[in-house]
């Protein structure tokens, strides 16, 4: 047995050790409780009433949303800022039944256009579209819109010149693989500034602008004006019976169009081609030298599955070759029509099939048949004054029939047969017979 002093010593050591152990344990417990309290709120002192959940605030709306709306988009929660991504891809097959062949049978990438468009700070819209098809890269669209109201918008940059009716229709919605002969007389995309707007409940639409000026049937490629001349161009589009409350009425989609341009230009002159790419008229050694005036009235009508539009185009240009100076007037016209066989409503845009493509369920989308007659005639004075190239034809008449298949609204297949007959001019040109296939993705 230990002695009394020894027992007292052992008791003192035990008490000291126990106190230290208790102190350490208390510190650990307190630290753990503090950490738990920081992570999980303490329970309320009183039970929560049954109605408390009804007053709970909903979670905050996300700062950015993304999705699909005829294209992929990302936008701010309030929609004031938005970016949308789209594309137009067209792959053609062009073949002739003629012997000798007027052009080479070929497959080609007709259009390859990635598109970026959107909105910044609610009132500013933009679009950027490069063209990568046809073996070359150019800027097709590049503009900024400032929206003051639906009746007044200002567009600065490169866009379609507001003159022709058919040229103002979007490429994915065209009835045929290529536009008519008459559109060869109309300027396409150019750089400038224009004002646009919709009036009277969108019964009247207008556009008026100043542009660098480009030759008939062309796009600006260098986007720099080669001379000091400028073109003033504008159009008015009238739908007098338009009523959003009765979209199916017989006259709701009757429209009238008038476009025109005027300017003084020098330099390059146009050449004219068929849909398959055969050049049938060009100038030789001549240049533009003075006033150029264009005018193009048109009419369009769509009702149920039927649609049609017609357009007349006329261009007058002063031309010089050596000491000869002439005022040359070329004109053209076209009438196009369509009938949708599957019950959808016809329009100037793409068709949205009632029943999208689903072969397992026996659904095939929408089908339309199309027909067109078009003519372009060059002024006889161009031949009399020796302005036309050797072998150039004076008149081209084009007859086209075909069918379009929309499995879904974003995919379209074209097939068209086209016969173009040529008359007059400085040589004899045999008729051209062509078959054009097209596969299109557009959104």
Q: What is the pLDDT of residue 58?
A: 67
Q: What is the mean pLDDT of residues 216-245?
A: 95
pLDDT tens sequence across 29-85 = 333 333 333 343 434 444 444 443 445 666 666 689 999 999 999 999 999 999 999
Place of tokens 């701010």: 76
**Is 369 part of a structural domain of the chain?**
yes
Kindly report, residue by residue over 299-337, the tens digit of the pLDDT. 999 999 999 999 999 999 999 999 889 999 999 999 999
The mean-pLDDT minimum among 26-40, 107-121, 223-237, 352-366 falls in 26-40
* Contact present, 349 and 173 (Cβ < 8 Å): yes
**Ordered DSSP codes for 383-418:** HHTT-BPTT--SEEEEEEEEEEEEEETTEEEEEEEE
DSSP class of residue 368? E
Q: Which residues contact 160 (CB under 8 A, 6 or more apart)?
A: 167, 168, 188, 189
Pull the structure tokens for residue 211: 């542009």
- Cα 335 to Cα 320: distance, rounded to the nearest angstrom: 33
Q: Which of 124, 85, 113 is nearest to 170 (CA)?
A: 113
- pLDDT for res 38: 38
In a domain, 105, yes or no: yes
Q: Taking a C-beta distance cutoff of 8 angstroms, is the pair 143, 115 a contact?
A: no
Assigned domain for 18 exists: no
* Tokens at 139, concatenated: 């800027």
**Could you tell me if 377 and 159 are in contact, meaning their C-beta atoms sit under 8 angstroms apart?**
no
Query: Looking at the domain assignment, is residue 55 inside a domain?
Result: no
Band of residue 14 on the pLDDT scale cut at 50, 70, 90: very low
Of the given ranges (13-22, 99-108, 397-406), which has the lowest mean pLDDT?
13-22
Structure confidence at residue 27 as a pLDDT band (50, 70, 90): very low
pLDDT in tens, 267-285: 999 999 999 999 999 999 9
State mean pLDDT over 362-390: 97
Answer whether residue 148 is part of any domain: yes
Of the chain, the percentage scoring pLDDT greater than 70 comes to 86
pLDDT at 52: 39
In this predicted structure, the answer to whether residue 260 has a pLDDT above a threshold of 50 is: yes
347 domain residue, yes or no: yes
Q: Is residue 345 part of a domain?
A: yes
Give percent of the chain with pLDDT exceeding 90: 83
pLDDT of 31 reads 35
Spatial distance between the Cα atoms of 266 and 381, rounded to a whole number of angstroms:
19
- Please tell me the distance from the alpha carbon of residue 304 to that of residue 343, in angstroms, as a whole number: 8
Distance separating alpha carbons of residues 5 and 382, to the nearest angstrom: 137
Domain membership of residue 214 as a residue range: 85-442
pLDDT of residue 350: 96
- Could you give the CA distance from residue 412 to residue 438 in angstroms, rounded to a whole number? 8
Q: Residue 276 to residues 19, 126, 180: CA-CA distances in angstroms?
A: 101, 33, 12
pLDDT tens for each residue of 411-440 = 999 999 999 999 999 989 999 999 999 999
**pLDDT higher than 50, residue 184:** yes
DSSP labels, 30-89: HHHHHHHHHHSPPPPSSPPPTTGGGGPPPPPPPSEEEEESSSEEEEETTSSSEEEEEEEE
Of 265 and 16, more confident: 265
Q: Is the pLDDT of residue 135 over 80?
A: yes
pLDDT at 101: 95
Considering only residues 241 and 18, tell me which one the structure prediction assigns the higher pLDDT.
241
Return the structure tokens found at 194: 């224009």
- Residue 104: inside a domain: yes
List, in order, residues 6 or more apart from 94 with CB less than 8 Å away: 103, 105, 106, 107, 108, 276, 277, 434, 435, 436, 437
pLDDT value of position 56: 63
How many domains does the chain fold into?
A: 1
| CATH code of residue 137 | 2.40.160.10
The pLDDT mean for the chain works out to 89
Q: Are 185 and 216 a contacting pair, CB within 8 Å?
A: yes
Mean per-residue pLDDT for 87-113?
A: 97
Residue-level pLDDT at 19:
40
pLDDT at residue 62, as a whole number: 67
* Model pLDDT, residue 44: 41
């Amino acid at each position: 047995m230990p002695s009394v002093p020894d027992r007292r010593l052992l008791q003192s050591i035990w008490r000291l050790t126990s106190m230290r152990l208790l102190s350490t344990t208390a510190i650990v417990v307190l630290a753990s409780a503090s950490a738990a309290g920081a992570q999980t709120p303490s329970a309320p002192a009183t039970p929560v009433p049954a109605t408390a959940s009804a007053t709970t605030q909903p979670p905050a709306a996300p700062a950015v949303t993304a999705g699909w709306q005829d294209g992929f988009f990302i936008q701010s929660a309030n929609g004031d800022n938005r970016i949308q991504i789209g594309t137009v891809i067209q792959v053609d097959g062009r073949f002739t039944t003629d012997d000798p062949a007027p052009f080479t049978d070929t497959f080609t990438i007709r259009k390859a256009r990635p598109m970026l468009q959107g909105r910044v700070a609610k009132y500013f819209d933009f679009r950027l579209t490069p063209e990568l098809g046809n073996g070359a890269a150019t800027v097709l669209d590049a503009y900024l819109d400032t929206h003051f109201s639906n009746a007044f918008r200002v567009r600065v940059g490169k866009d379609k010149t507001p003159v022709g009716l058919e040229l103002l229709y979007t490429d994915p919605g065209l009835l045929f693989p290529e536009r008519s002969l008459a559109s060869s007389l109309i300027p396409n995309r150019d750089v400038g500034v224009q004002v646009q707007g919709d009036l009277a409940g969108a019964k009247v639409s207008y556009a008026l602008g100043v542009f660098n000026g480009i030759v008939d049937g062309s796009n600006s490629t260098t986007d720099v004006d080669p001379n000091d001349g400028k073109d003033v161009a504008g159009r008015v589009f009238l739908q007098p019976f338009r009523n959003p409350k009765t979209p199916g009425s017989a006259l709701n989609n009757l429209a009238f169009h008038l476009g025109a341009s005027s300017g003084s230009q020098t330099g390059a002159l146009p050449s004219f081609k068929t849909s398959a790419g055969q050049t049938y008229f060009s100038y030789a050694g001549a240049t533009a030298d003075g006033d150029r005036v264009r005018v193009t009235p048109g009419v369009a009508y769509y009702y149920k599955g039927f649609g049609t539009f017609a357009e007349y185009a006329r261009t007058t240009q002063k031309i010089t070759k050596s000491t000869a100076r002439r005022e040359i007037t070329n004109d053209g016209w076209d009438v196009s029509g369509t009938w949708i066989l599957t019950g959808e409503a016809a329009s100037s845009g793409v068709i949205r099939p009632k029943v999208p493509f689903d072969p397992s369920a026996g659904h095939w989308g929408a089908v339309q048949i199309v027909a067109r007659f078009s003519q372009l005639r060059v002024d006889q004075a161009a031949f009399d004054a020796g302005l036309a190239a050797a072998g150039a034809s004076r008149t081209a008449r084009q007859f086209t029939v075909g069918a379009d298949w929309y499995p879904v609204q974003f995919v379209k297949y074209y097939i068209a047969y086209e016969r173009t007959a040529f008359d007059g001019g400085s040589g004899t040109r045999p008729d051209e017979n062509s078959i054009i296939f097209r596969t299109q993705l557009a959104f």
